[in-house]
Structure 1
Amino acid sequence: MITGGDTDEAVRQTDFDALSSRLSCFLKGYTPEDRLLGALVPLLVHYQVAGCGSEFKRFALARRLRSQFFNVLPANIGDVAAVAQLDRAVVAAKTGRFTPLKPPLINRGTYLRTTAISRTVEQFVARHRHAGKVQVVSLGAGSDTRAFGVVAQNANVHYYELDFEQTARLKKLAILSSEQLSACVGAPALPPAELPRTAAQIAAVDPTLHTDRYHLVPCDLRGLTPERALHTVPGLERLDGAVPTLVVSECCLCYLSQDDSDNVVRFWRRSLDDGEFVVYEPLGGSDQPQTAGDAGRQPNRFGEVMVKNLICRGIEMPTLLVYGTVAAQIERFRRLLDTDTQHRCDVWCKDMKWVYDHEVDDAELERISRLEMLDELEELNLINSHYCLVVARWQPQPLALAQCT
């Protein structure tokens, strides 16, 4: 169960792990559309380092993060003007065929995860193209760049990003330090003279950011319970429970206890009249009889190894084995969402091997196959079979249909 500041900090740091993987994916050419990473990554690193209290800690952290991000960051991380944009020549040099970035297995998995979720978001927006207003809520959004493109390209989308206070503060500062990022969300960039420079100044920054259609909200998800009214959550006062809303959880709910994660799902079910979840998380397996969708998965072994690896980092995934199969995920969301006869509830879940085999077209497979050699196809299939994508939707039923059920 997630308790205590140390555990929270360990979970927060997984965001930089994911960011490093997405940068590797971009540099290798898997996700050329994710070019805003070039503006976001150096600024997040700058404020993470500048927020350290001691010079020694700043030096050590800068050295570690420079290595974690493949040495594409400028030498002077402490100068915000110098890190406002990755140098294009340095980035170009890092895209060489033999540049050591993340292993091909990681790149391919990150590509699949990123594009599968983005495709689901795009499909949601397309279905409501002519709606007056729709909303996307990203839980544990962290360093995600998806909001920038969605908000800039869709005038009817209102985007909410929720995360820990410290994470939200870093992202807000990165946005306000970049004319490119701030323009995407409709926020005025701050002049360099107004940006915080010391750890104390950074810590004093209000982490909340609201524009007409983008909202960055510091929020501890453990406080979202089904008894709580939506408008009582600080930062969510503008969110309208009556309009179509997509809630995104990309490896977020899995870090909560079972009770807390169930409560978060129930909170959104009660708060939204027309809602949808897209959830990406690992499948740890189960000793229970397997369904066709779980065929070939070795019960528990993968989950046990992952649990041990996470413990070494001070992290837990309490529901990894509880909701460890496709069948368990479907049962979970049906139980939590299908709660009355006035709404229709539909739940789909597929492991990422199925997504890779059926939702990536031949031309795209050929394109990514040319980017780098991947010999471990069997291992890729095994890993993909232990992650899943859940799409769960609830909508008001016509009155006559509701009365017949």
Structure 2
Amino acid sequence: MMHDEPQVARDDVIKGTDDDAIISKLSAVNLGYLDDSFVKHFVKRPSRRPPLINRGSYIRTRSLDAFTEQFIKSNIPPEPTAATTTTTPHTSAIIQSSSTPTTKTTAISPIPAAGIKKQIVSLGCGSDTRYFKFKAKGLSALKYFEIDFPESTAKKAVVIKKNKAFTDIIGDPDLKLGMGGTELYSNDYCLLSGDLREFTESIVPKLKAHGFDTSLPTLFLSECVLIYIQPGDSDAIVNWVGTNMDASLFVVYEQINPADAFGAMMLRNLKARRIELPGIHAYPSLKSQEERFTSRGWQAAGAVNMNKLHESLSEQELKRISSLEIFDEVEEWQLLADHYCVAWAYQAKPQQSETYRAQLIQLLSNSVSS
């Protein structure tokens, strides 16, 4: 697909947002908010961010890490049990939903003790280090796919290939570069180049060519990504996942509430930096974020803003991060945090065995439950 010059310029601005995000994440790491030894390799000029930005980077990363960790760890007990299906999910770790779940119990037989193989797909991965951070802790999926524009993946591939810190974690002597240096392939990690606006016709065939399996439970991560493309294009991704995956969990982090005074100011500030958010008016609220999935037949969905995420931190963790730097902007933080959210949804299609479907639903439910 050819894109016109204004679109190319907009794409360049979107690619630049990754630089800003990774510098902010390194700032949070250097101050002790986050523990990540890989981020520094992607930043040429470190810069200390204001406390408001540091705390935002911390909550954003911690919440998505919580989903990812719980998904990797989630399993079904190796002895006969009962599957509890939540129609309105809880959240894991720091994330809690204000809604009350409705549950039903289904008798199931055990899955193999070895557990169920899983995949993770990071949409618009940028310089994200989640795969490396988790594998370094002994947590990994069967396959971890990352997708972004070729220019972004080329930069990432160079950093990974030249740094032993990354290649040792991948641990595959047959790690290969491909597509003119814009892609990387290994046993359990694939960095793929492509345009998410061409997901079904371009990205999906590429995923399948590198071992993507629609029958495996799969976590799809979108960290400030879907909101940058037109709703029709992002809906096409959600539709494809819901229709073609046997079992999937979709987690989205993005801006909301564009219509109030702060939201309007936020959009003006972004526009001054030539950043547009085509998706924000299609899914402007927590309710609409959930309905993005439930209206398309997903079994369960939830959404919380960053204030809720912040409030769910333990007293000990709040005390720890409060000791890292002076934080006076409480009112401004509450306004900002009300305009960012994490939304999630899961679905499992009917299987040949209803027992196995019940097991998949429990696994996905466990991924978003405490």
**Corresponding residue SS for 1:373:** coil
The residue aligned with 2:24 is 21
Shift of 1:233: 3.1
The residue aligned with 1:131 is 115
**Which letter does structure 2 place at the counterpart of 1:208?**
E
Q: Following the alignment from structure 1 to structure 2, what is the Cα–Cα distance between the partners of residues 223 and 209? A: 20
Shift of 1:324: 1.0
The residue aligned with 2:188 is 213
The residue aligned with 1:198 is none
Residue deviations 1:135-191 (CA, integer Å, cap 9, x gap) = 11000111011110233423543111100001001111100110111111224599x
Contact 1:151 1:158 in 2 (8 A): no
| Percent identity between the two aligned chains | 34
Aligned length: 313
Shift of 1:334: 1.0
Which is greater in Rg?
1
Shift of 1:132: 4.2
Residue of 120, 125, 131 corresponding to 1:147: 131
Is residue 4 from structure 1 mapped to residue 7 from structure 2 by the alignment?
A: yes
Shift of 1:271: 2.8
Residue of 89, 110, 117 corresponding to 2:57: 110
TM-score normalised to structure 1 length: 0.72
Structure 1's unaligned 5+ residue stretches are 46-65, 71-100, 196-202, 286-298, 339-344
Shift of 1:300: 3.0
Shift of 1:355: 1.1
Q: Following the alignment from structure 2 to structure 1, what is the Cα–Cα distance between the partners of residues 273 and 126? A: 19
Contact 1:151 1:214 in 2 (8 A): no
Residue of 260, 265, 270 corresponding to 1:310: 270
Moved more, 323-332 or 8-17: 323-332
**Corresponding residue SS for 1:336:** coil
Shift of 1:245: 0.3
1:238-249 to 2 correspondences below 5 Å: 238-249=211-222
Moved more, 117-126 or 306-315: 306-315
Structure 2's unaligned 5+ residue stretches are 77-113, 358-370
1:46-195 to 2 correspondences below 5 Å: 66=45, 69-70=46-47, 101-128=48-75, 130-152=114-136, 153-188=138-173
Is residue 382 from structure 1 mapped to residue 355 from structure 2 by the alignment?
A: no
Q: Following the alignment from structure 1 to structure 2, what is the Cα–Cα distance between the partners of residues 161 and 176? A: 15
TM-score normalised to structure 2 length: 0.78
**Corresponding residue SS for 2:120:** strand
Q: Following the alignment from structure 2 to structure 1, what is the Cα–Cα distance between the partners of residues 158 and 182? A: 8
The residue aligned with 1:94 is none
Higher percent of residues as strand: 2
Is residue 41 from structure 1 mapped to residue 26 from structure 2 by the alignment?
A: no
Shift of 1:400: 6.8
Contact 2:121 2:221 in 1 (8 A): yes
The residue aligned with 1:367 is 320
Residue deviations 1:63-120 (CA, integer Å, cap 9, x gap) = xxx3xx23xxxxxxxxxxxxxxxxxxxxxxxxxxxxxx11101101110000000011
**Corresponding residue SS for 1:12:** helix
**Which letter does structure 2 place at the counterpart of 1:377?**
V
Residue deviations 1:22-61 (CA, integer Å, cap 9, x gap) = 0100111101x211223x225xx4xxxxxxxxxxxxxxxx
Shift of 1:249: 0.3
